[in-house]
Amino acid sequence: MERHIASIREQFPILKTQVNGKPLVYLDNAASTQKPTRVVNAIAQYYNTSHSNVHRGVHSLSQKATQLFEEAREAVRAHLNAASSDEIIFTKGCTDAINTVASGYERLLKKGDEVLISHLEHHSNIVPWQMACERSGASLKIIPMNHKGELEWSASLLSSRTKIVAVNHVSNALGTINPIQQIIADAHAVSAAVLIDGAQATPHFSVDVQTLDADFYTFSGHKVYGPTGIGVLYGKRSFLEMLPPYQGGGDMIKTVTFSKTTYAPIPFKFEAGTPNMAGAIGLHEALNFMSDIGLENIASYENQLLQYANEELSRIPGIRFIGTAENKASVLSFLVEGAHPYDVGVLLDQMGIAVRTGHHCTQPIMDYFEIPGTVRASFGMYNTMEEVDQLVRGVMRSASMLV
Amino acid sequence: MTIQEIQSEIEEEFGFFDDWMDKYEHLIGLGKDLPLIDPQFKTEEHIIKGCQSQVWLHAELEDGKLFYTADSDAIITKGVISLLIRSFNAQTPDAILEASTDFIDRIGLKDHLSPTRANGLVSMVKQMKFYALAFKAQKQNT
């Protein structure tokens, strides 16, 4: 893969940008990845040649748009190895997908029921469940973590009261890959459902929802080199059929009278209103792009980047890694002793290096480590070893100015 | 000196730096030299929370003039605070209410006073002006 990086980078015009007069080093991929030209072109092509509203018109353009939209659904099904494309719901993002499930559960949960989430969650997999619990009277329980940023999983956290477990596949703040296979198996033993937030896993390696046996799996388009405003909710057929609809509107109904509405079958029950067709088509192209490169190639190359960055950054005096789990995706969170992460981020930006600083929408993790935030470098398939070197030099330079 | 004169003086000082590193080193130095805020004012009541860094601000009126002290957990934020305090300190509430902070743009630190940075500085400027307004109203009532 290493010898193909130059040609991969060619496909991302934005990587040639200058920032503050320096060539951009983009290491904020966990927040959002950049888009290859073919994704941008697919969206333009759709609008220029095939756009119309879907699932409605008998006219040819509407048929064409519908066909492209449904082909995108099939592509997502294949990507996740779901049993049926009916189990793939297009949402406006990963957060929206989680909210779809949480708001449905809000109506199914009763006082005394429990929802289990983890200490490692992004706010988007905490707040929807807090809201569901507040309104239903259910209680929220937390899977604890250790000082390495690993979950301290134990089946004893589950009971017959546990109705759903919601955990991320990979932590956005620390990069920890969680033992979801075990969590799913244990949860199913007490008949609890499991939602996996896959926003940080899908950009890095392949996911098979049937092997995992996840009941719900969510991810976001813009983190897998696709457009913003599109996300995916996978749900097993029986779960999606049982779950009440999220929003009401067009496209999600079978019949409407003023006294009663019957809902369309899945997936349409959860897709009220005109869907984001261009987004779905862009996502389709992005998934094709990733498959063409090869998910295994991406995973092993990014792992090399991570190992190299780990080794090189370790040489910096006063560096402290936050999140040192054994099993990690290509996300590195760290602090330099005596320097606030915000200051490091500002100085790196002056050198053209884009990292994320702050709490990464995971305040409970920051509270655990008693820190205001971290500097987070997250790698994508187009990053290079030279960029890691630039990061290391940048952090050393920042430290010498700040400390 | 008027606020405008002080701000021109700061602009002139920053004009000497043609390299970003020198400019930031100066700013970091100013941040480190910022007089400490009295610990009794470093409380929840005086905090201005940004998403990235936070700021504590306190103001007192002496002989009709305002004196600010402030702190931040981030040193670059403190550097910008020091420039704001230097330009507003020992000025009357009226002068502060009329003053602009455009000099920050002109010395190439515009980004730091942008709401997207979420470092607490935009709210801090608002809070500095709010203190001026409050002291002015207090004076008119007595």
State residue B47's pLDDT score: 87
Structure token pair of residue A37: 């030209």
Residue B120 a catalytic site member: no
A398 contacts chain B (CB < 8 A): no
Q: Mean pLDDT for chain B? A: 90
Q: What's residue A351's pLDDT?
A: 96
Place of tokens 């756009």: A51
Closest CA to A313 of A378, A380, A389: A389
Provide, rounded to the nearest whole percent, the portion of chain A with pLDDT above 70.
Answer: 100
Minimum mean pLDDT range among A42-51, A347-356, A382-391, B42-51: B42-51
CA distance, residue B141 to nearest chain A CA (Å): 42
Report percent pLDDT > 70 for chain B.
99
Q: Find the mean pLDDT for residues A285-300.
A: 97
Using one digit for the tens of pLDDT, what is the confidence trace for A213-232? 999 999 999 999 999 999 99
Which sequence spans correspond to the domains of chain A? 2-30+294-402, 40-291
What's the pLDDT at B140?
83
Chain A residue with the nearest C-alpha to that of B79 = A343
User: What's the pLDDT score for residue B124?
Assistant: 87
pLDDT at A333: 97
Contact A350 B52 (CB under 8 A): no
**Residue A192, CA distances (Å) to A115, A134, A180 in order:** 9, 19, 14
In this model, does residue A382 exceed pLDDT 80?
yes
- Distance, in Å, from the CA atom of B114 to the CA atom of A389, rounded to the nearest integer, reads 30
Task: Provide the pLDDT for residue B84.
Answer: 93
Provide the pLDDT confidence category of residue A200 given band limits of 50, 70 and 90.
Answer: very high
Tell me whether residues A340 and B51 touch, CB distance under 8 A.
no
Q: Which residues of A touch B25 (CB under 8 A)?
A: 401
Average pLDDT over residues A307-336: 97
Look at residue A268 in the predicted model and tell me its pLDDT: 94
Residue A24 has pLDDT above 80, yes or no: yes
Task: Tell which residue, B3, B2, B62, B75, has the closest CA to residue B34.
Answer: B75
Residue A23, chain B, CB below 8 Å: the answer is no
Interval A332-342: pLDDT, tens = 999 999 999 99
Arithmetic mean of pLDDT, A378-402 = 97
CB atoms within 10 A of CB A130: 14
CA–CA min distance A401, chain B (Å): 6
Question: Where exactly are the structural domains of chain B?
Answer: 3-141
Judge whether residue B118 has pLDDT over 80.
no
> If one looks up domain A40-291 in CATH, what number appears?
3.40.640.10
Using CA atoms, how far residue B18 sits from A139, B22, B24, B42, in Å, is 58, 8, 11, 36
The alpha carbon of residue B107 is apart from the nearest alpha carbon of chain A, in Å, by 15
Residue A68 has pLDDT above 80, yes or no: yes
Amino acid B109: pLDDT: 87
Nearest residue, CB atoms, B24 vs list A341, A342, A347: A347
DSSP letters, A202-240, are: TTTS---HHHHT-SEEEEESTTTTS-TT-EEEEE-HHHH
CATH fold for domain B3-141: Sufe protein. Chain: A (3.90.1010)
DSSP state of B36: P
Contact A350 B77 (CB under 8 A): no
Q: How confident is the model at residue B113 (pLDDT cuts 50, 70, 90)?
A: confident
Instruction: Tell me the one-letter amino acid at A76.
Output: V
Kindly provide the residue ranges of all beta strands, DSSP E only, lying in A157-207, ordered along the sequence.
162-168, 193-197
Residue B44 has pLDDT above 90, yes or no: no
- Ranges A187-201, A221-235, A269-283, B39-53: which has the least confidence: B39-53
Output the pLDDT for position A39.
98
Interface of B with A in 63-82 (CB under 8 A): 73-77
Mean pLDDT value across chain A: 96
B21/A contact by beta carbon, under 8 A = yes
3-state secondary structure of A26: strand
Q: Is the pLDDT of residue B142 over 80?
A: no
Residue type, A330: S
Segment A247-272 mean pLDDT: 90
Mean pLDDT, to the nearest integer, of A263-273? 94
pLDDT band at B54 (very low <50, low <70, confident <90, very high): confident
CA geometry: angle at A334 spanning A179 and B55, to 5°?
120
pLDDT for res B115: 73
Residues of A in contact with B30 (CB under 8 A): none
Neighbouring C-alpha atoms within 13 Å toward the C-beta of B62: 6
**With bands split at pLDDT 50, 70 and 90, how would you rate the model's confidence at A73?**
very high
Q: Which residues of A touch B119 (CB under 8 A)?
A: 342
Point out the residue among B21, B53, B75 whose CB comes nearest to the CB of A402: B75
**Confidence at A251, pLDDT banded by 50, 70, 90:** confident
pLDDT of residue A3: 84
Catalytic residue among B22, B29, B35, B51: B51
Q: Averaged over A320-327, what is the pLDDT?
A: 96
Q: Are A217 and A185 in contact (CB under 8 A)?
A: no
Mean pLDDT along residues A280-292: 98
Residue A57: pLDDT band by 50, 70, 90 thresholds?
Answer: confident
Q: Among residues of chain A, what percentage have pLDDT more than 90?
A: 93
pLDDT of residue A231: 98
Fold observed for domain A2-30+294-402: Aspartate Aminotransferase, domain 1 (3.90.1150)
pLDDT at A1 (0 to 100)? 79
Amino acid B121: pLDDT: 83
Q: Does A385 touch chain B (CB under 8 A)?
A: no
Nearest alpha-carbon partner for B54 in B44, B63, B40: B44
ipTM: 0.89
Q: How confident is the model at residue A117 (pLDDT cuts 50, 70, 90)?
A: very high
Residues of A in contact with B53 (CB under 8 A): 340, 342, 372
> Is residue A163 pLDDT above 90, yes or no?
yes
Query: Which one of B17, B22, B23, B24 makes the best mutation probe of the A interface by having the most chain A beta carbons within 10 Å?
Result: B24
Whether A213 contacts chain B with CB within 8 A? no
